[in-house]
Amino acid sequence: MSAEGMGPHAATTATVTTDPVFLPAGYDWKPLDPKYATVELINTPIGWLVLAAITLVPTVIWAPRWAALALGAFWVLIILWRTITAGRRARAWHYAQTEHDLMISHGLMFKELQVIPYGRMQTVEVSAGPILRSFGLATVTMKTATDANSAMIPGLAADEADRLREELSRLGEEQAAEL
């Protein structure tokens, strides 16, 4: 059976075995919706082009020509690299639910594993901009008592985002009452 026919959560096993620190074994790690890679492919150049324009315009106006060319070449390389790796960055996101925690793992070069206890969640939000919505995707954001412990899961199918929001809210209320 092909990976396509296996659904959006088909490719988790191979990833788990290759990264025991950031995707520990024994959990049902779920990847983001595969369409999120396309969203990242669209969003990446748009966002980086805006940043490049903000720095290039004053450089072109006031700096020597060589500086503008060097900065332009720098931005071309950054935008190309970020665009080429957009799909890999999107596929690096995984999340797993345990009895007491939500775990989120992401990153290629700089990896991160967040463990958020359900009882510490104060709000769970679902959001989506126009590009995410056009692909039927949404982002789930969990906020805790401190912003340092807030987390998000981008690129979930809208129905999965809604299910996760409902479940996290319910588990948060149940476990906060136990604290």
Mean pLDDT for each consecutive 10-residue tract of the chain (179 residues)?
A: 38 50 91 97 95 96 96 97 96 95 94 92 94 97 80 96 95 79
pLDDT at 6: 39
- Residue 13's pLDDT is 39
pLDDT of residue 147: 65
Q: How far apart are CA 33 and CA 155, in angstroms?
A: 6
The residue among 157, 158, 164 whose CA lies nearest residue 35 is 157
Give the residue from 6, 166, 22, 21 showing the smallest Cα distance to 94: 22
For residue 179, the model assigns a pLDDT of 62
Residues composing the chain: 179
What pLDDT sits at residue 18?
54
Closest to 93 in 3D by CA, of 155, 42, 140 = 155
